[in-house]
Amino acid sequence: MKLVALLLAVSLTVTAHSQSQNTINSYKYVLVPQRFDFLKSDNQYGVNMLTKSLLESVGFSAYLTDETLPAEVAANKCSALKAEVVEKKKFLTTVLTLLLKDCQGNVVFKSVEGKSSEKEWGTAYSEALQNAFVSLHNAHYKYDSTLAAPAAVQTGVGAVPAAAVVAVGVGVPATVTENGNVLYAQANPNGYQLIDTTPKKVMTLLKTSQQDSFIADDGISKGIVFRKNGEWFFEYYKDDKLVSQKLTIKF
């Protein structure tokens, strides 16, 4: 009886591993943010660039989110995974875990915990991250174009019909202004909040059924935030006139 249970457990483990491998194999691209949540500045200690480099060493085509993206990724963010590195607080030990998520926020791959006992932060983060990547190397990733990554789908709270998004301001002359301040996007269940360097919340973004299109509210005006030709715009009506404000957003 114990032997049967053991064989069943092994079988389930192999099946789960195969399913996980097939899932990551359906993705060619991974997007890496400029800053992970546990860091205080962009690419602090070189962690984000190292993540990009390690993903490329496995075989992925990795891009920082502020880089020029391949056309297929720019048109459909669901064709790429998003890399997240999370830190687990532990006394005298740095512990990092790599997560690869799809565009709906589902975890497609979770690494083992990478650990380091180094005292210097830069060295500790580098060693812990490389140790976390061991499990991704062991997954033997190989992109398979016959396994199609999911297309953009309507999901999440705040999703609205596509027509409701694209109809706003189409063909209407707009007064264009520019906000030169850099805004940082912090994810929440319904979308993002944009904060400045103070830090102060500047705007709320709600997900829609369209990639790179959000319902936006800055506390004064309500409209949409969308990406066009690699740049972000906030459009809203003021005194019956369409205003288009260019934004610099770091996701």
Domain span at residue 239 reads: 162-250
Do residues 117 and 93 touch, judged by C-beta distance below 8 A? yes
- Give the type of residue at 248: T
**Residue 154 in this model has a pLDDT that exceeds 50:** no
pLDDT tens, position by position, 62-100:
999 888 888 888 888 888 999 999 999 888 899 999 999
pLDDT tens, position by position, 16-51:
333 344 589 999 999 999 999 999 999 999 999 999
Are 108 and 166 within one domain? Answer: no
pLDDT tens, position by position, 172-195:
555 666 666 788 888 888 889 998
Q: Is 68 exposed, middle or buried (0-12, 13-18, 19+ CB in 10 A)?
A: exposed
State the chain's mean pLDDT as an integer.
Answer: 80
CA nearest neighbour of 74 among 181, 250, 211: 211
Are 85 and 206 within one domain? Answer: no
**How many C-beta atoms lie closer than 10 Å to residue 190's C-beta?**
16
Within a domain: 148: no
Q: Could you tell me the CATH number of the domain that includes residue 115? A: 3.90.950
Pairing of strands 61-64, 29-32: parallel
Sign of the CA dihedral 99, 216, 230, 178? negative
Within a domain: 157: no
**Residue 56 in this model has a pLDDT that exceeds 70:** yes
Within a domain: 155: no
Report the range of poorest mean pLDDT among 114-123, 151-160, 186-195.
151-160
Q: What are phi and psi of 24, to 5 degrees?
A: -70, -30
pLDDT tens, position by position, 199-221:
788 899 999 888 889 999 988 88
Are 134 and 166 within one domain? Answer: no
Which of residues 138, 154, 189 is at a domain's end?
A: 138
CA distance 5 to 9: 6
Share of the chain above pLDDT 70, in %: 78
